[in-house]
A and B are shown apart, each in its own frame.
Chain A
């Protein structure tokens, strides 16, 4: 299986370029706005890790775009850019599949729908908000707008969404039911997290450090990939191997302590505990400072890793701590890199990229 194209949207902007610029200038201070949240009589300020506004590209009528939820828009735009990045024009839309993965799904639309119900009761039930609040709204819109007829599925696996989608895409390609699979992994900020921070009177002082649980701020983002069989030509000439499970019972399939290991720490102690339990202390990398904390941020790490390793490069970690040794400078001529995504009960997903 191969990646033909990819793109991301994060709080730093649309596309991978803002992330790469940041990684090339890690000491630069990023100016972030502080956003006020209030709930009941409590108020806090949090650095804003929401994605910037963007106009949907492609042929989407404005009436349709107006009714779309943020979640569907994020996936649509990044998929659009990933397809452009690949340079592919699909010869047979019956043989294009799609997988959308998420942790908390179209939460802002769900929030809007539930708010209407709370204000107006049954009369507040909106057909548009309800339809767009279902998890498969993004898959539905993206398949509809692109006339994709192959297998299309949505999965909700929190941190394991990336590895599940990639593995499922691999299985579809091996079964020869598709020639291409679009994978899009997204999460959006949901107001309940800042509400919780208000109620806990938790207003982080510092910029988000994924290795420091006291600085955790909610973030959002999307990474989309166009995948195909290994026989296809790509500018990302990498082999991708994936495994995942609900707990490590007989060792990792791909993770090798000699390789750089990119981990989505997310400001969660369970990730650090997992590393301690499994003796993973060397060659660690964290990029999450750029995007805030959300379940599927590991997909953004993956996009960065694919982009870098296709030229033999691995970008250094943006943060470090005493839990292990972190890679502090660019690595060049690297052959393999591993990624690890950890769930709150020890579920894990491992991905190996090889040149």
Chain B
């Protein structure tokens, strides 16, 4: 039996290179400059060490309730969950009165994220495997649920770059299936050295900064981030008197089945995902009036996604944000849902920082300045390694 209620986003929290909380991110969006770019020294492409893209955040919690050391991914998640719960006016005490689920999308957050230990292990210099034993207590979704003493269902989604978007889609499904009243949903990723070197050896990295859809783009830049949204049913929101920020209308998934690391040349899986999201939303394509693109800055992603969006959403403003934050992998989709909610609440569309030259093969021109926005239906697209595609549609709450 499906709950026939609206599904709201009532809280949000984030840490990224845009800012250490949602307000800082918003301020950067409203007044962007070249300093807002996540910019690297081009020497990183030949260095032995990976560039440091960690964000300095004060006051991170370091221990779980049962005194186990929290890894950095979980530290960041707790931090942004607190911000999101505050936004949603949901105290830790009140959360215990509800069925609260947790869904986290991540890539690195489900690994033994201790590079130094891993090198020692493989060089036969480790004297114990404590980081591995800790890893069995470090699943991000379980960790957040345990930390806040929640009892609802938990899920960690490990679907590469679509994970954050998928987390929100699954949150909607859980609430509609009456499995819980509220879901803490989002994503996190740290840019560990092995991850950075992996993308670099695939020749997917730009030397300096991300240039979404730009003719002179050379690749992506990875960035660290954590993002959480509080998702709840309309009845829960009314009961708690929380203020909806936006409505999750629909979510869709589609697989390219084309290549392990390259999107389908005709965006087959992306089209399936968008059509599925539209069908779930009960909306027509023409009703979409704002799009946040995946826009990683890689040759293939931007070519295929850009051509698709230009063809099927010709007059719809498109913006990309990865020049500000870097590609945050599992956190990306969750961050981008926060941006959509901010577009509604602040009536603006961010500038696509990093876009410099129109690519005649793509033709798409994303936003080149901050623009006003009064529309109602926002689409966010995510394309992942392995051919995963995910799309989510948010509606303005009036």
Residues of A within 8 A of B (CB): 39-40, 93-94, 97-98, 105, 110-111, 113-115, 117-119, 121-122, 125-127, 130-131, 133-137, 139-141, 143-144, 146-158, 160, 164, 167-168, 171, 174-175, 177, 192-193, 195-196, 199, 243-249, 343-345, 347
The CA of A133 and the CA of B261, in the complex, are separated in Å by: 13
Residues of A within 8 A of B107 (CB): 134-135
Provide the main secondary structure of the chain B interface. Answer: mixed
Min CB gap A89→B, angstroms: 17
The CA of A193 and the CA of B128, in the complex, are separated in Å by: 11
12 contacts between A and B (CB under 8 A): A113-B198, A136-B160, A136-B386, A139-B388, A149-B255, A149-B269, A152-B255, A155-B155, A175-B173, A177-B252, A196-B128, A246-B153
Of the residues B119, B157, B197, B268, contact of A155 by C-beta under 8 Å: B157
A199 touches B129 (CB 8 A): yes
A156 touches B110 (CB 8 A): yes
> Using a CB-CB cutoff of 8 Å, which residues 55-112 of chain B contact chain A?
66, 102, 107, 110-112
Tell me if B151 is interfacial: C-beta within 8 Å of chain A.
yes
Given A130-B198, A131-B260, A152-B255, A40:B124 Cβ within 8 A:
yes
Q: A139-B388, A144-B260, A149-B272 are in contact. List 6 more A-B contacts (CB 8 A).
A: A118-B123, A130-B199, A130-B201, A152-B255, A195-B121, A246-B102
B197 touches A125 (CB 8 A): yes
Given A122-B197, A125-B201, A157:B66 Cβ within 8 A:
no
Min CB gap B141→A, angstroms: 7
Residue of A nearest to B143 (CB): A345
Residues of A within 8 A of B157 (CB): 153-156
B280 touches A175 (CB 8 A): yes
Residues of A within 8 A of B128 (CB): 196, 199
Residues of A within 8 A of B198 (CB): 113, 125, 127, 130-131, 133
The CA of A126 and the CA of B194, in the complex, are separated in Å by: 10
The CA of A140 and the CA of B155, in the complex, are separated in Å by: 20
The CA of A245 and the CA of B98, in the complex, are separated in Å by: 13
Of the stretches B132-140, B211-219, B299-307, the one at the interface is B132-140
Given A130-B202, A139-B388, A192:B158 Cβ within 8 A:
no
The CA of A231 and the CA of B132, in the complex, are separated in Å by: 45
B122 touches A171 (CB 8 A): no
Given A148-B255, A192-B132, A246-B142, A140:B151 Cβ within 8 A:
no
CB within 8 Å: A-B pair count: 210
The CA of A243 and the CA of B257, in the complex, are separated in Å by: 31
The CA of A39 and the CA of B256, in the complex, are separated in Å by: 43
A114 touches B194 (CB 8 A): yes
The CA of A295 and the CA of B47, in the complex, are separated in Å by: 38
Residues of A within 8 A of B160 (CB): 134, 136
Residues of B within 8 A of A121 (CB): 48
Residues of B within 8 A of A39 (CB): 124
Tell me if B118 is interfacial: C-beta within 8 Å of chain A.
yes
B158 touches A136 (CB 8 A): yes
Tell me if B224 is interfacial: C-beta within 8 Å of chain A.
no
B136 touches A158 (CB 8 A): yes
B154 touches A136 (CB 8 A): no
The CA of A248 and the CA of B151, in the complex, are separated in Å by: 7
Min CB gap A239→B, angstroms: 16
Min CB gap B210→A, angstroms: 20
Given A94-B272, A136-B384, A144-B259, A157:B253 Cβ within 8 A:
no
Of the residues A137, A155, A248, contact of B386 by C-beta under 8 Å: A137
Tell me if B126 is interfacial: C-beta within 8 Å of chain A.
yes
Of the residues B66, B256, B276, B384, contact of A345 by C-beta under 8 Å: B66
A151 touches B254 (CB 8 A): yes
B154-171: CB near A (< 8 Å → 1, else 0) gives: 111111100000100010
Min CB gap A108→B, angstroms: 13
Residue of B nearest to A113 (CB): B194
The CA of A196 and the CA of B66, in the complex, are separated in Å by: 23
Of the residues A139, A167, A177, A344, contact of B136 by C-beta under 8 Å: A344
Of the residues A97, A155, A167, A246, contact of B145 by C-beta under 8 Å: A246
Min CB gap A337→B, angstroms: 22
Given A134-B386, A149-B268, A140:B126 Cβ within 8 A:
no
B180-211: CB near A (< 8 Å → 1, else 0) gives: 00000000000001100111111000000000
Residues of B within 8 A of A139 (CB): 159, 386, 388
Residues of B within 8 A of A177 (CB): 252, 276, 280
Given A137-B386, A153-B159, A125:B253 Cβ within 8 A:
no
Residue of A nearest to B193 (CB): A117
A143 touches B257 (CB 8 A): yes
A127 touches B155 (CB 8 A): no
A245 touches B154 (CB 8 A): yes
Residues of A within 8 A of B193 (CB): 117
Min CB gap B16→A, angstroms: 22
A244 touches B153 (CB 8 A): yes
Tell me if B366 is interfacial: C-beta within 8 Å of chain A.
no
Given A117-B194, A171-B177, A246:B152 Cβ within 8 A:
yes
A136 touches B159 (CB 8 A): yes
Given A134-B385, A343-B142, A345-B142, A148:B257 Cβ within 8 A:
yes
Tell me if B387 is interfacial: C-beta within 8 Å of chain A.
yes
Residue of A nearest to B1 (CB): A174
Of the residues A114, A144, A149, A249, contact of B151 by C-beta under 8 Å: A249
B137 touches A345 (CB 8 A): yes
Residues of A within 8 A of B150 (CB): 246
Tell me if B127 is interfacial: C-beta within 8 Å of chain A.
yes
Of the residues B118, B152, B170, contact of A114 by C-beta under 8 Å: B118
Min CB gap B300→A, angstroms: 14
Min CB gap B382→A, angstroms: 12
Residues of A within 8 A of B129 (CB): 192, 195-196, 199
The CA of A28 and the CA of B259, in the complex, are separated in Å by: 47
Min CB gap A169→B, angstroms: 11
Tell me if B146 is interfacial: C-beta within 8 Å of chain A.
yes
